[in-house]
Structure 1
Amino acid sequence: MKVGERLKSSVSDAEVIVVKVGRTVSGPLLCAGAPMAAPDGAAAGGATQGPAGGDPLIIGKRYSGADVEVLCVTPGAGPLSIDGVELELAAPRPLPSSD
């Protein structure tokens, strides 16, 4: 997994782009318990609900945890996890005051 890489779930319609990857990350990114892969390597016609039935991933939102951050570009069933840690919805960064 590397920054800028697009990954698609094999069990839902979810797709993400990797924004940040730490040096200590060793495992694959999982969506609803199944490994994510490049879109050309994923099975065609993903399901709309993963086997875990987790919370849906929201398009345009960032998910982070375990020194990884991804951006959801196609919504689908979740959750996302890596190295046994579930990625959480990242809080938006506050903009500086323009006063």
Structure 2
Amino acid sequence: MTTPSPLRPGQQLASTDCSTRVVIVRAPSEDAREIACGGTAMVPAAPGRPSGPATGTGTLLGKRYVDVDDTIEVLCTSPGSGELSYAGVPMVVKSAQALPASD
């Protein structure tokens, strides 16, 4: 099974290799590519909590991940040991944007 296409905001995906789960925050409207965790395509998440303990430091709970072109953004809802990738390229933790100074 591969990552469902098209990807939609609010859609939940789960890793088949570890306890990583994500929610799609932003996705391209066309030409969506595969989201993978640990090198294996993510699948639609089953209702409920993931089975097994969250281990490793591949994905971090509550962090947003983006691709290098900033076309897709996911939120990690369950950490795991796998590394997220989009179209075969590793995703990175989205950095916080500075708020404007108030005078």
Shorter-chain TM-score: what band?
0.7 to 0.9
TM-score, normalized by length of structure 1? 0.79
2:89 and 2:77 map into 1 onto residues whose CA distance is: 21
Name which of 74, 96, 99 aligns with 1:95: 99
Q: Which has the higher strand share?
A: 1
2:11–2:24 contact (8 Å) kept in structure 1: yes
Q: 1:32 aligns with which of 34, 38, 41?
A: 38
Find out whether 1:7 has 2:13 as its counterpart.
yes
Alignment of 1:43-54 (within 5 A): 45=51
Q: Which runs of 5+ in 2 are unaligned?
A: 1-6
**Count of aligned pairs:** 93
Structure-1 separation of matches of 2:8 and 2:85: 16
How well do the aligned residues superpose, as a CA RMSD in angstroms? 2.3
Structure 1 residue runs without a partner (length 5+): none
Q: Which of these residues, 14, 28, 52, is aligned with residue 22 of structure 1?
A: 28
Identity %: 31
Deviations 1:4-53 (A, max 9, x none): 10111110001111011123543221000111111229xx746856xxx8
Q: TM-score, normalised by structure 2?
A: 0.76
More off after superposition, 67-76 vs 25-34 = 25-34
Distance 1:17 1:93, change over 3 A: same
